[in-house]
């Protein structure tokens, strides 16, 4: 199979990582792939922040974890199916202590950041990042829950967030398992007209 199609088909969200750091030249190559994404008017509106610092990672987790618990507790009562899906996806019961169901103890938390009007451009950059990471033997997961930090003043300062900027978090590292289970994919709905 063509290598691009193969990568698109085989990339999976990875949630278990080795603690081994990722070499900077590899991270740079992945960021450069993100930077090649199409963007409206070729504005390339994004910037990238790579978090390796353990203290910052700890702070990010502390800020998000209590919110995550509140959300999943709420879903447990109101939308049990969705709750089950989240617990299944994160494989919460299998997570090592201390449990990190947000950033999954990844060696790198990567943020793609831009004004919220550029969300589509950022999403395209994120996909380039995740596919290129896969092609280099790395695992990634887009972690929407990880974005619940933008009301924290200290984190806003660390990320140098401007008003109306949105963050797109991706965790990155060497995967601990060869083949994460393949989630069911629906058949595409196609209408030829
Ligand atoms: C916008 C968005 C938000 C997501 N947020 C999370 C998240 O917070 N935690 C998580 O474990 N996975 C998250 N994911 C990953 C999805 O769960 C995953 O892509 C989906 O289950 C399909 O699996 P696959 O990526 O292996 O094809 C997110 C994906 C997207 C696109």
Which atom, in ligand 1's list, is nearest to the CA of 12? 26
Q: What is the pLDDT of residues 104-161, one digit of tens each?
A: 999 999 999 999 999 999 999 999 999 999 999 999 999 999 999 999 999 999 999 9
Nearest CA to ligand 1 atom 30: 142
Residue 83 lies in a domain: no
Domain-embedded: residue 144: yes
Whether the CB of 27 sits within 6 Å of ligand 1: no
Provide the domain count of the chain: 1
Tell me if 164 is assigned to some domain. Answer: yes
Q: Note whether residue 182 is domain-resident.
A: no
Q: How are beta strands 47-51 and 108-115 bridged, if at all?
A: antiparallel
Residue 21: CB within 6 Å of ligand 1? no
Tell me: pLDDT of 178 over 80: no
pTM: 0.97
Query: What is the mean predicted confidence (pLDDT) over 182-191?
Result: 93
Q: Return the residue matching tokens 């996909």.
A: 127
Q: What is the pLDDT of residue 1?
A: 81
143 within ligand 1 shell (Cβ under 6 A) = yes
Tell whether ligand 1 has an atom less than 6 A from the beta carbon of residue 183: yes
Residue 123 covered by a domain:
yes
User: Which residue segment(s) compose the domain that 44 sits in?
Assistant: 16-55+103-173
Question: Is residue 183 domain-resident?
Answer: no
- Residue with the smallest CA separation from ligand 1 atom 31 is 142
DSSP 1-29: --HHHHHHHH--B---B-SPPPPHHHHHH
Partners of residue 140 on adjacent β-strands: 13, 172
What residue's CA is closest to ligand 1, atom 19?
A: 13
- CATH number, domain of 44, equals 3.40.109.10
For range 69-93, the mean pLDDT: 94
pLDDT score at 180: 66
């Amino acid at each position: 199979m063509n290598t691009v199609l193969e990568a698109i088909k085989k990339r999976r969200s990875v949630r278990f990582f080795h603690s081994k750091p990722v070499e900077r030249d590899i991270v740079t190559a992945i960021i450069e792939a993100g930077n090649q994404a199409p963007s409206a008017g070729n504005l390339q509106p994004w910037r990238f922040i790579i978090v390796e610092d353990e203290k910052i990672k700890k702070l990010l987790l502390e800020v998000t974890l209590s919110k995550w618990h509140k959300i999943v507790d709420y879903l447990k009562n109101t939308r049990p199916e969705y709750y089950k899906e989240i617990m299944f996806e994160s494989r919460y019961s299998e997570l090592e202590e201390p449990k990190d169901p947000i950033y999954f103890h990844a060696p790198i938390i990567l943020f793609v950041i831009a004004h919220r009007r550029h969300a589509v451009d950022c999403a395209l950059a994120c996909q380039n990042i995740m596919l290129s990471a896969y092609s280099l033997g790395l695992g990634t997961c887009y972690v929407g829950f990880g974005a619940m930090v933008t009301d924290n003043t200290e984190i806003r300062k660390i990320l140098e967030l401007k008003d109306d900027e949105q963050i797109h978090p991706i965790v990155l590292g060497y995967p601990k398992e060869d083949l994460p289970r393949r989630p069911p994919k629906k058949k595409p709905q196609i209408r030829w007209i």
